[in-house]
Amino acid sequence: MGCLGLLMYGTKLMGDSLQQLADDRLRHILDSLTTNRFSSLLTGALVTAMIQSSTAASLMTVSFVHAGMLTFMQALPALMGASVGNTLVAWLMAAELNFGFSNYIYPLMLAAFLLVQYRKRPALGESVFGFCFILLSLGLLCHLYDSMPAADQHTVATYLGMKGEHYGAYVLLLLVGAAVTFAVQSSAAIMATSMVLCSTGIWSVYAGAAFMLGENIGRAVVTCRAASSAGTQARRTAFGQLVFNLSGVAWMFAAFPYVIDLLCDFARLDPVAGQTAPDHNLAYVLAAFHTGFNLCNAALFIGWVKPLERWAERCVSKPRNNDEKKTELRFITKGLLDTPEESVMEARKEIINYADTVTQMFTQTRYLFSADNETDFKNIFARVEHYEEVSDEMETDIANYLNRITAEDDVPDRLRPVICGMLRELAEIESIGDSCHHIAHTARRNFYSSQPLTEPQLEHIHQMFQLAEQALEQMRVLLFARKPPREAPTAYYIEKEINNYRNQLRNLNFADVNRGRYSYQTGAMYMDVINECEQLSDSIINVTEARMESQGG
């Protein structure tokens, strides 16, 4: 159990470190290379092979579906590819069992220590440490089982559920493999256990294959659990992966003894010879079985992505209160993710969601000045008030989430200015919501006033609203951009135009009040709206500057 713990720690350390090294490139790869189902399949395999964690790749893909960056047709083939990419670690384990690379890892561990201590990017050294821990744990497992007395080996086999060579025992091992994968969220532990037990003679290769098949079910269940609190499309994608994995395990479980016999005949190995004398070559049979199964399963189902999408739409329905979901947190509901980079990415998506919410609030505020009757006005004003409450709550929740990221010990120094800039964006977006709220209250004063705004004043206000709407759209484009430009001339030009128009309307207002065209109180309400629009544009410019500065623009 200690060796398995070391193996899982090494796998997690290497996967997390490789994700830090890849940074946003993984997101860009998934986003840009998933143009069709075949490229999505290859992309999923590539990303999983890069980070050596099919669970992390699956969760990353589902989160992109939740963010609207990937569709079901793009994501499901990528998840199929993740199963294929996960087979690389099986071949690494088989090579370790046969060649004993763990005997030569100590100079590599020294190099990893030097990389961690004296390099600007210690993630490279940590990934090498994780690789060394994987090899070390496999070498220790083999040594322990090779030196175990025969009576103890039989006790281990019985304790782990292998009481005979029949399908009932294989079903039990399949379920145990799925449960262990779900509990520890490490398919590497399942593969290592299967290979070591089979190559040392404690299990037959048939038992190891059945145990390894359970890993596919466990991974799909882990993805479904992670997607349970996500959006509808993300839950449908996780459901599609579950159907894909269950269907593949079903057809392979019916035929796997014959497949194992075929592979053993090809390799000229006896599938039951390991139970009389240890044979580490059987690990290659399991690695070939694992790779062949996932390749065949992906090839069989790559053409069924569209039917799976229709089935997922029928089985996973949208929530009835879908309209209310637009103003709630969507991305940071599950807490901090495995790495600070992933958590910051989720917070970035939540800030975009927050900006969309405030933009909807501005749209409702505009409607207040064109309401025809009191009922419509009250309904619109109630929606603005609701948006204001949601805006305040979202600001607090996102800020607390960013503060939790900063409090983590493993936050890279390069992320701290990014988080600081995101906090500034958050505060300025909240100021935009406050301006909308103030305009709404001015609109209510005007609606019930005995001296309401004149038609020319309302026309000027709507023209100012159009400029503010253009500024908001430019802000959203900038927030959506992967890499902000070094200059944002459009936003600055709109802000300058708003300032000039504000000055023009202010001078015109003084002249109209002096001529007696409307009262001073009416002019004050009028300028309150104009000034709040100008204040709103200033906040938009502050968001723009914060976004550019946090990215080094």
287 and 352 together in one domain: no
Measured from the Cβ of residue 485, the count of other Cβ atoms closer than 10 Å reads 12
261 and 131 together in one domain: yes
Q: Which among 231, 240, 203 has a CA at the least distance from the CA of 83?
A: 240
Any domain includes 259: yes
The per-residue pLDDT of the chain, averaged, comes to 80
Rounded CA gap, 106 and 133, in Å?
Answer: 10
Any domain includes 322: no
Please compute the mean of the pLDDT values over residues 312-318 and round it to a whole number. 82
292 and 432 together in one domain: no
Backbone angles phi, psi at 223, to 5 degrees: -65, -40
Please compute the mean of the pLDDT values over residues 204-220 and round it to a whole number. 87
| Alpha helices, DSSP H, located in 368-415 | 374-407
pLDDT digits (tens, 9 = 90+) for 529-553: 999 999 998 998 888 888 877 664 4
342 and 236 together in one domain: no
Q: Is the pLDDT of residue 320 over 80?
A: no
Q: Is the pLDDT of residue 19 over 80?
A: no
Any domain includes 85: yes
Rounded CA gap, 348 and 354, in Å?
Answer: 10
143 and 216 together in one domain: yes
* Domain C-terminal end among 315, 349, 376: 315
Q: Which of 16-25, 173-182, 315-324 has the highest mean pLDDT?
A: 173-182
Dihedral (CA of 264, 268, 270, 274) sign: negative
Q: How many domains does the chain have?
A: 2
pLDDT digits (tens, 9 = 90+) for 266-297: 877 776 655 555 677 888 888 899 999 999 99
Note the pLDDT of residue 434.
92
Q: Please report, rounded to a whole number, the percentage of residues in the chain having pLDDT higher than 70.
A: 82
Torsion of CA 206, 209, 214, 215, to 10 degrees: 160
307 and 415 together in one domain: no
pTM score, two decimals?
0.58
Any domain includes 292: yes
356 and 301 together in one domain: no
72 and 123 together in one domain: yes
Any domain includes 326: no
277 and 367 together in one domain: no
308 and 351 together in one domain: no
Q: Which residue has the higher pLDDT, 446 or 346?
A: 446
Any domain includes 321: no
12 and 126 together in one domain: yes
Read off the pLDDT band of 461 (50, 70, 90). Answer: very high
Can you give the residue range of the structural domain that contains 201?
2-315
Q: Is the pLDDT of residue 385 over 50?
A: yes
182 and 297 together in one domain: yes
Read off the pLDDT band of 153 (50, 70, 90). Answer: low
* Domain C-terminal end among 315, 348, 367: 315
pLDDT digits (tens, 9 = 90+) for 226-241: 777 666 778 888 898 8
Rounded CA gap, 46 and 24, in Å?
Answer: 15
Please compute the mean of the pLDDT values over residues 361-374 and round it to a whole number. 88
Any domain includes 372: yes
* Domain C-terminal end among 280, 315, 350: 315
Q: Which residue has the higher pLDDT, 145 or 294?
A: 294
CATH number, domain with residue 347: 1.20.58.220
pLDDT digits (tens, 9 = 90+) for 412-458: 777 888 888 889 999 999 999 999 999 999 999 999 888 889 999 99
Burial of 349 by CB count in 10 Å (0-12 exposed, 13-18 middle, 19+ buried)?
buried
Q: Which two tokens stand for residue 497?
A: 């135009």
Any domain includes 327: no
Tell me the CA distances in angstroms from 215 to 352, 418, 459, one per residue in order. Answer: 36, 38, 65
Q: Is the pLDDT of residue 94 over 60?
A: yes
Read off the pLDDT band of 146 (50, 70, 90). Answer: low
Residue partners of 244: CB distance under 8 A and separation at least 6: 76, 79, 80, 220, 297, 301, 308
Note the pLDDT of residue 406.
85
